[in-house]
Structure 1
């Protein structure tokens, strides 16, 4: 959103994007809760059709792109952060390089707020995730809003905004579990804990001593199914997605832990080409104006609205 490693000062293992991308979820429903694929390939030709290079922005000018149309780079294939639809709505923006297509998602809602704050109109440009930073620097797009987290390597190639939403890893158990009242890692001694394969949701379990670190499940629905069936005691899970999970599974509870995982926070940052400090300051001011309640509400609405 791609995000192969955790967002720390060290090389990343697997971020929020890996969590969904590696899950291999394709319209898979568990107990009425829909889980979706993430980070799929862009439509054929989207990179080549993104538009000609332009370099309208000037260092410190306070104007992004042409000052009128904000070209927002994203995959449009990474729900609930961004996805493609065929009909316009109050939630969408046109995809400039795909005829008759529109983008929706959490990144889109934030991009619209940023564009409005800059006095511009947002359009999406659909690109492979790996091409976004290069496309930003060659002038094909003006900003990246694509479930992208700043890391040291990316920070060398682009300037990143403050986060406009932060995910983290929490633990879920059943309400009748012996571990439902746990508040410290020590309280979890002996528990069988399950995460998703090849993601940080699995590797963070190693931070908990004296537990049974189970062989990870390949997909998020399988992780959830194992908890529901009693195969495991506890699962690791996306903090932002907990409200929907608990709504679907009322017998699940989130552990209210005093001990926290290290290096598990995953921010969502916008990126612009370097040398535009005035614009970056404006963008950060706009992002700061989005309350935490509004961020969570937008996230929940995108979770409800994402394609099946």
Structure 2
């Protein structure tokens, strides 16, 4: 009888510990918590960058301990995750590895200033645009340089121009005849440093980012070509990327984005521009 009683007591204790250790779903022991893993370059202000100190608005970078992601992309991703009832995880990745990481399952989505170009659409599906307005490109030059008074593409004949590797900021340079198209560099930061050092006459930038860049490099001007004489772009604007077969997540993202008003998007961009200018 004592043996039977001991066995019954042991079973009760085991059941008690099992119940305490289970997650949100008592039947399976699995947690109901949902995480949205987002790939970000963290080097493209005002869309995204990294910081060494936590703040009320930035997000820890899961694969870069002690650093935090900030910028417009990050704030939009936070709103999307909140709308989905998910926890946001930011994964820092090199620009040219974002879509590969997405398709390998390392991240669920990409929020990284990425446009829905024909090339990108070969590797991923894209959400609706989440920036305040369509993307336009221009050329940033030194204020005291030879091309400060340029107004149209033809004014850059003979100039050396630089873009970011693997992006439209590089490939559109070939739309201007007679320029010296320099080998692309990895990051926007490298482009700005090259312009500042005088090793390039100009760099192609997203006009939406111009204010933030000029806050860091005030001795520059931005050439915004006329609408009928500017760069021809094969995309609509900055969007979130997901795997092509992940239609459910794409729907969730688009539903969340639809809840973010134009005014709220502009406020977030203005804040990101201000923060980026203080870096």
Q: TM-score range by the shorter chain?
A: 0.5 to 0.7
Q: Which residue of 2 aligns with 1:297?
A: 270
Q: Which residue of 1 aligns with 2:8?
A: none
CA contact 1:76–1:84 (8 Å) conserved in 2: no
Instruction: Return the alpha-carbon distance in structure 2 between the equivalents of residues 184 and 262 of structure 1.
Output: 13
Cα distance change of structure 1 residues 119 and 305 upon mapping to structure 2, 3 Å threshold: farther
Q: Are 2:56 and 1:90 aligned?
A: yes
Q: Which residue of 2 aligns with 1:131?
A: 101
Specify every segment of 5 or more residues in structure 2 that has no aligned partner in the other structure, as ranges.
1-30
Secondary structure at 2:116 match in 1: coil
Larger Rg: 2
Q: Which residue of 2 aligns with 1:223?
A: 195
Q: Which residue of 1 aligns with 2:230?
A: 260
The alignment covers a number of residue pairs equal to 230
Instruction: Return the alpha-carbon distance in structure 1 between the equivalents of residues 50 and 183 of structure 2.
Output: 31
TM alignment of 1:1-308, pairs within 5 A:
69-75=34-40, 77-80=42-45, 81-82=47-48, 88-94=54-60, 102-116=68-82, 118=83, 120-126=85-91, 128=93, 129=98, 130-135=100-105, 143-152=109-118, 155=121, 159-165=125-131, 167-175=135-143, 179-186=147-154, 188=155, 190-196=157-163, 198=165, 200-209=168-177, 211-213=178-180, 215-216=182-183, 218=185, 219-220=190-191, 221-226=193-198, 232=201, 234-258=202-226, 259-263=229-233, 267-272=237-242, 273-275=246-248, 278-289=251-262, 291=264, 293-304=266-277
Structure 1 residue 112: Cα displacement: 1.5
CA contact 2:39–2:107 (8 Å) conserved in 1: no
TM-score by length of 1: 0.56
Deviation digits for residues 171-217 of structure 1 (CA, Å, limit 9, x no counterpart): 1334456654443334x1645242147564454333223x4426457
Secondary structure at 1:108 match in 2: helix
Instruction: Return the alpha-carbon distance in structure 2 between the equivalents of residues 213 and 236 of structure 1.
Output: 13
Specify every segment of 5 or more residues in structure 1 that has no aligned partner in the other structure, as ranges.
1-65
Secondary structure at 2:195 match in 1: helix
Instruction: Return the alpha-carbon distance in structure 2 between the equivalents of residues 282 and 304 of structure 1.
Output: 31
Instruction: Return the alpha-carbon distance in structure 2 between the equivalents of residues 206 and 78 of structure 1.
Output: 24
Instruction: Return the alpha-carbon distance in structure 2 between the equivalents of residues 143 and 155 of structure 1.
Output: 14
Instruction: Return the alpha-carbon distance in structure 2 between the equivalents of residues 235 and 143 of structure 1.
Output: 29
Cα distance change of structure 1 residues 150 and 195 upon mapping to structure 2, 3 Å threshold: same
Cα distance change of structure 1 residues 256 and 132 upon mapping to structure 2, 3 Å threshold: closer
Secondary structure at 1:164 match in 2: coil
Instruction: Return the alpha-carbon distance in structure 2 between the equivalents of residues 154 and 115 of structure 1.
Output: 23
Instruction: Return the alpha-carbon distance in structure 2 between the equivalents of residues 114 and 68 of structure 1.
Output: 16
CA contact 1:82–1:107 (8 Å) conserved in 2: yes
Structure 1 residue 292: Cα displacement: 5.4
Instruction: Return the alpha-carbon distance in structure 1 between the equivalents of residues 141 and 119 of structure 2.
Output: 36
For the aligned residues, what is the CA RMSD? 4.0
Secondary structure at 1:110 match in 2: helix
Secondary structure at 1:205 match in 2: helix
Structure 1 residue 278: Cα displacement: 4.9
